[in-house]
Amino acid sequence: MWSNAATELEMKHRARRGVFCFTASALMLLLLGGVGAAQKPQQKPQTFKNVELCNGADRTSPDIQIDGCTALINSSGQTPRSLVIAYNNRGNAYTAKGDYDRAVEDYDQSIKLDPNYARAFNNRGVAYQKKGAYDRAIDDFDESIKLNPQYANAFANRAQTYLNKGEYERAVQDYDEAIRLKPAFEAVWNGRCWTRAIAGELQAALADCNEALRLKPDVAATLDSRGLTYLKMGQWDAAIDDYSSALRFDPKLASSLYGRGLAKRKKGDTTGGDADIAAAKAIEANIARDFARYGVQ
């Protein structure tokens, strides 16, 4: 049974692969209530503009989305349903900013207004996951799945949380279900690849990474995952190729630098290997400890 807790640094590596957070989940079209009789006609265009902003039409800054949602929340004439979505969307924007406490407060309001809104439970779970409150996150994902058993994102997010806790068997089970529900979702294949690689299920991990890359080629995180798989399989050239490809897309991906350095050392290239490892440690000082946890030294 896998049960090792993950280090804070390991969380950074895992966050990079994924793309499993889904804090920017697809925003629903906001359903406006009727404009109050006392409202001036010229106020309507601004109301519709706020709807667009609250739905994330302007992707330049979460603050712009927050402003749009706040204007709607504070305005008159909104239906309860529109407020449910506005609080949820503002929570998404706060999550994107890393302001997880405010995000949780907004998801609380959304859930209070509609206790059956699976999306808000899922999104609050993401915020708790980001805060490191894994058990509370899992509770929210459980509820989201209970409300919508076909919600692939909630399974994927719960899988990521189990992965963060080092509960790899449970993580794989949830990735299985997310893949069943959403087989074209490449990030979930990558997540299962990474989990299986850590757990030593290398052939299965390789198949998952290959499928993820078939669905979406040239993703640094997936190439990094497959690089780890090849590294643990002792296929040094293949590992170096994948790590090098990952670094072309993300030159500061410390896990790829470190993994490539180890593979170069195994091939006898001490100078090149030492240079990669030093560069990786300059980015993340404790990365060697994490690779030891992955079973690679």
Is there a contact between 151 and 118 (Cβ–Cβ < 8 Å)? yes
Within a domain: 18: yes
Within a domain: 233: no
Within a domain: 208: no
| CA gap 275, 36 in Å, rounded | 67
What pLDDT is recorded for position 77? 81
Tokens 């697809």 belong to residue: 26
For 180, residues 6+ apart whose C-beta sits below 8 A from its C-beta are none
What are the tens digits of pLDDT across the range 72-85?
999 988 899 999 99
What pLDDT is recorded for position 44? 59
CA distances from 221 to 105, 151, 227, 285 (A): 32, 24, 10, 20
Within a domain: 260: no
Domain count, the chain: 1
| CA gap 88, 117 in Å, rounded | 10
> What tokens appear for 252 in the block?
């500061």
What pLDDT is recorded for position 48? 84
What pLDDT is recorded for position 74? 93
What pLDDT is recorded for position 128? 98
| CA gap 240, 11 in Å, rounded | 23
CATH of the domain at 41: 1.25.40.10
Dmax over Cα atoms in the chain, in whole Å? 79
What pLDDT is recorded for position 4? 34
Within a domain: 297: no
Within a domain: 73: yes
What pLDDT is recorded for position 47? 81
What are the tens digits of pLDDT across the range 214-235?
999 999 999 999 999 999 999 9
What pLDDT is recorded for position 35? 35
What pLDDT is recorded for position 22? 40
- For the chain, which ranges sit under pLDDT 70? 1-44
Tokens 């006392």 belong to residue: 38
Within a domain: 285: no
What pLDDT is recorded for position 162? 97
Within a domain: 26: yes
> What tokens appear for 192 in the block?
């299962």
Global pTM?
0.84
What pLDDT is recorded for position 14? 45
The whole domain housing 121 covers: 8-183
Mean pLDDT, all residues of the chain: 87
